[in-house]
Structure 1
Amino acid sequence: MNFPERFSNLPAYAFPRLRALLDHYEPGGEVVHMTIGEPKHAFPGWVTDVIVENSAGFQGYPNNDGSDELRGAITDWIERRYGVTLDPGTSVMALNGTREGLYNAAMALCPEQKNGQKPIVLCPNPFYQVYMVASLSVGAEPHFVPATAATGHLPDYAGLPEDVLNRTAVAYICSPANPQGAVASRDYWAELIRLAEQYDFRIFADECYSEIYRNDAPTGVLTVAQELGADPERITLFNSLSKRSNLAGLRSGLIAGGPETIKRVKQLRAYSGAPLPAPLQAAAATVWADEAHVRENRALYQEKYAIADEVFAGVQGYMPPEAGFFLWLPVDDGEATALKLWQETGVRVLPGAYLAQGEPGQNPGKGYIRAAMVAPKTELRRGLITLRDCIYR
C-alpha cells in the first residue's frame, strides 16, 4: 500500500519528542510542568451557566459559520480592540479553535501556482507547527525565515531574495510571537503589508496571544491595514478564547478577512469543518462580549512577568517577554538542558529546537528552552528559581 510522501519528512511533534527525551528517566525532584502553553487561570464561572441554559442546542446540528449572536460578538470585539468595523455576515466566521482555521485557510486560499511556479509559504522560525503542515498539505513549499535576536525575534520577510518573494503566496506571522513573546510594531506591520502588496501575497496573522501583555496592547494587523487602506482580502486575522479567556477546551476561535476570503473559507468548511456546538457558541458569544475577566487574567500574567524578571535579574541573555506567557531562555543546548533539568530537578521545559526547523547548526531554537508561565504563582516562582540555579549558577 502506498502512502503520500508530502508528510514523510515531518519530524515527530514537539510533545511526543519531549516524552521520548525525558520519560525514560525519573524526575530529580518535585515535578513542575512548564512545557505546554495550557492556561491554568480560572475561566469565568458563568460560562457553564450559559452552556446549561442553552443545552437544548446539543440536539441539533450547529451553524457552521457561527450563530448570528456569536459573529456579532466577534465583530463587536474587533471594533473595540482594533477600531475596525466588519460586517458580521460577510467578514468573520467562527472556528473550532484557531489551529483548524490556520490550516483550512491555506487549503481555501493558497493557489496551486504563483507566477507559474510552485508557491512558497513563509513561516517564522521558530513557529507554530500547523503553519508547516498546512503548507505541505496544499503542495506549497514552506520557507522558514529565522526569527532571532538579530531580527528582534520576528522574521525579516523584507530581507528575502526576490526569487523567493516572487513565489510567495502566503506569509504566516505570529504576534505576539510564540515562543519569544516579541510584538510586531505598527512599522513592522506596515512594512509587511506593503511587501505583500508589492509581491502579491496574503498575510495570515495569528494574534492568539494579543490580550496577554505587559503594558500597552499590541498593535493588530487590521488596525494598520485600515490606516494604510490595504485590500481587505490581503489580510486574514486569527484569534481565539483559549489564551484570552482561559478556555482552551471550549475550542472557540475566529477568522476575519475580506468578504471573498471568508466566502471561500466558509465554502471549504461547509464540506470539511467541525463547527462549534450551539451551546458552546452561546457561551463564546458571552465571553467575547466581556472584558472584565480579560483584565483580571492579564493582571495575573503581569504579576508573573514581575516574578520572572526578579528571578532572572542579572542572567545574561534573559529577554523579558513583551507579551504572551512563555519565557524563551538562552542555553548552550536546549535538548541537553531540558534533560539535565528533568533529571536533576524535576522541572519540565521544552527544547527550543522542537519548535523550529533546520539542521543542528542552523536550527534557531537549538540554543533555547521554552518555559510556560502557566502554573500558580507560588509554584511558578519555585520552578523558575530551581531552573535558574540549575542552569545559570
Structure 2
Amino acid sequence: MTNARLDELTDYPFQRLRNLLDGTEGGGPMLNFALGEPQMGPPTLLTEGLASDTAGWGKYPPANSTPELRGAIADWLDRRYGLTGDAAMDPESEIMPLNGTREGLFQIANLVVPAVRAATRPLVLVPNPFYQCYMGAAVMAGAEVGLMPAIADNGFLPDLEALDRETLHRAVLMYVCTPANPQGSMADEAYLEKALEIARANNIVLALDECYAEIYDETPPPGGLQIAAATPERFANLVVFHSLSKRSSAPGLRSGFMAGDRDLVARFGKLRSFGGAPLPNPVAAASTALWRDEAHVEGIRAHYRRLFDIADETLGNRRGYFRPAGGFFLWLDVGDGEAFAKKLWEASGVRVLPGGYLARDEAAGNPGQPFVRVALVHDEATVRKALTAIAALME
C-alpha cells in the first residue's frame, strides 16, 4: 500500500537532470554547477566546536537543543536585525534549532494545514519557480499548491497584489524566499510588510525562507522579524528560517533554525517529540560557535562577490545575464533551459539545472522554462572555466 499523495509529486529536479543527461557523454570532466552545495570547506570553528563536546555523542539531545545554541541564535538575530529592548528575541519560546532548515520548511505544512479550509481543500501558496521542498510539504500535508508567479515583470518575486479573495480565503500557508532561490531577488521592507499584512488579515502563516540572507552583494536584505517586531502583534503568523549551510559554508552540518510565532514554535516542538530528529549535542556546540562569529562569514561573502565579478567579466555582455542581489545562483535566460543544459553538457561537461525543473506549468506556460540555474559554489578558476563554456553557447 502506498500514499497516493506522493504520486502527485514529479521527480526531484536532480533526478530529472540525471534522466536528461545520463547516457550522453559529456564534453569533458564533469563540473557540477547544478547543485547549490558550497565547496569552500567549513571554517575551523566547526571542527573545533564538534570536538568541544565529544561526550555529547553519548546523550540524547533535547528536542529544542541546548540553551547555549538558542542563546547564540537569539543574540545573532538581535544583532543582525536590530532587535533591542522589548523587541529582542526570547530564546526559550521564539526559537527552535533545526536538523537542517529543510526539516522546518517541510514540517511547517504538517503543522498548519487543516483537513478543510473554506469548505474545500486547503491551499498552500508557493512562488513559481520554487524550492521543491515547498511543494512536497504542501502535497504531503494534503493541501493544494497555489502558484504565485515570480517572473521578471514582478522583479522575480510573487505579485502579492494579484492574490484574489478566493485564493486568500482558502490559503493557510504562504512560502516566500528572500533572497530568492533561484533568482537572487531580494524583498524590501515594504514587500515584507505587505506579505505580513496579507497573512494576518487572512489567518495565513507566512513562512519566510531566509536561508540566503547572509550571502548578498551590496546591501544586507531586511528580515521578517525586524518588520514584525515593530507591530503590536509581534511575531504572530510569522516564522522565518535560517541555515548554516550557506552562511558558514557547512551544508553537511545540517543545522539551521526557525524563529517567530511562539505558538508555532511550541507546536513544532510537540510534533518533533513524536517524529523529529533534534540536533546532536556536538552539532549544537559547533553551531553555537558559528552563530557567535562573523569573521568567517565576511570571508565567505567576499568569496561569492569575487565569483560574481568573474560572472560580470565572462557573461556581462550576454543577453539574459544579470547580477543578482543575493544568494549564489545565476538565473540565465538562454531561451530553452533544458535544451541548453544538454548542449552545454555535451560540449563541455558542465552541468547546470534547467529552470523548468524548478517550476510548474501555469496557463501562461512554465516560467522557468527559458532559464538555467548556475550554482557559483566552486573555486575561482573552476567558475571561470565553466562560465567561459556557458558564454560560448549564449548569444
Which TM class, normalised by the smaller chain length? over 0.9
TM-score by length of 1: 0.97
* TM-superposed deviation, 1:263: 0.7
* TM-superposed deviation, 1:119: 1.4
For residues 181-206 of structure 1, give each alpha carbon's deviation from its aligned partner in whole angstroms, at most 9, with x where no partner exists.
00001111111111112222110000
CA distance in 2, matches of 1:296, 1:104: 33
Give the aligned partner of residue 320 of structure 1: 323
Give the aligned partner of residue 151 of structure 1: 154
CA distance in 2, matches of 1:312, 1:133: 34
Tell whether the 8 Å contact from 1:109 to 1:264 is kept in structure 2 after alignment. no
Give the aligned partner of residue 134 of structure 1: 137
Letter in 2 for 1:30: P
Give the aligned partner of residue 8 of structure 1: 7
- Residues 85-104 of structure 1 correspond to what in structure 2 (within 5 A)? 85-104=88-107
Tell whether the 8 Å contact from 1:311 to 1:385 is kept in structure 2 after alignment. yes
| Gap runs ≥5 in structure 2 | none
CA distance in 2, matches of 1:108, 1:142: 16
Tell whether the 8 Å contact from 2:45 to 2:289 is kept in structure 1 after alignment. no
Give the aligned partner of residue 166 of structure 2: 163
* TM-superposed deviation, 1:231: 4.3
State the secondary structure of the residue aligned to 1:370: strand
Give the aligned partner of residue 109 of structure 1: 112
1:226 aligned onto 2:229? yes
State the secondary structure of the residue aligned to 1:143: strand
Give the aligned partner of residue 22 of structure 1: 21
Tell whether the 8 Å contact from 1:158 to 1:195 is kept in structure 2 after alignment. no
* TM-superposed deviation, 1:360: 9.8
CA distance in 1, matches of 2:233, 2:33: 40
Tell whether the 8 Å contact from 1:158 to 1:192 is kept in structure 2 after alignment. no
1:330 aligned onto 2:333? yes
Aligned residue pairs: how many?
A: 391
State the secondary structure of the residue aligned to 2:6: coil
Identify the range of structure 1 (287-296 vs 21-30) with the bigger mean alpha-carbon deviation: 21-30
CA distance in 1, matches of 2:59, 2:198: 45
Tell whether the 8 Å contact from 1:193 to 1:230 is kept in structure 2 after alignment. no
Once superposed, which parts of structure 1, at least 4 consecutive aligned residues long, lie more than 3 Å away?
Answer: 228-231
| Gap runs ≥5 in structure 1 | none
- Residues 366-381 of structure 1 correspond to what in structure 2 (within 5 A)? 366-381=369-384
- Residues 115-126 of structure 1 correspond to what in structure 2 (within 5 A)? 115-126=118-129
* TM-superposed deviation, 1:359: 6.2
- Residues 329-348 of structure 1 correspond to what in structure 2 (within 5 A)? 329-348=332-351
State the secondary structure of the residue aligned to 1:94: strand
- Residues 183-198 of structure 1 correspond to what in structure 2 (within 5 A)? 183-198=186-201
* TM-superposed deviation, 1:361: 6.2
CA distance in 2, matches of 1:168, 1:146: 16
Tell whether the 8 Å contact from 1:360 to 1:366 is kept in structure 2 after alignment. no
CA distance in 1, matches of 2:388, 2:9: 35
Identify the range of structure 1 (314-323 vs 66-75) with the bigger mean alpha-carbon deviation: 314-323
1:66 aligned onto 2:65? yes
1:240 aligned onto 2:243? yes
For residues 202-253 of structure 1, give each alpha carbon's deviation from its aligned partner in whole angstroms, at most 9, with x where no partner exists.
1000000000011110011111112344441211010110000011100111
* TM-superposed deviation, 1:334: 0.7
TM-score by length of 2: 0.96
Give the aligned partner of residue 42 of structure 2: 43
CA distance in 2, matches of 1:217, 1:155: 20
CA distance in 1, matches of 2:272, 2:20: 37
State the secondary structure of the residue aligned to 1:303: helix
Give the aligned partner of residue 294 of structure 2: 291
RMSD, matched Cα: 1.4
| Structure-2 change in CA distance of 1:229 and 1:305 (3 Å) | farther
* TM-superposed deviation, 1:336: 0.6
1:204 aligned onto 2:207? yes
Letter in 2 for 1:210: A
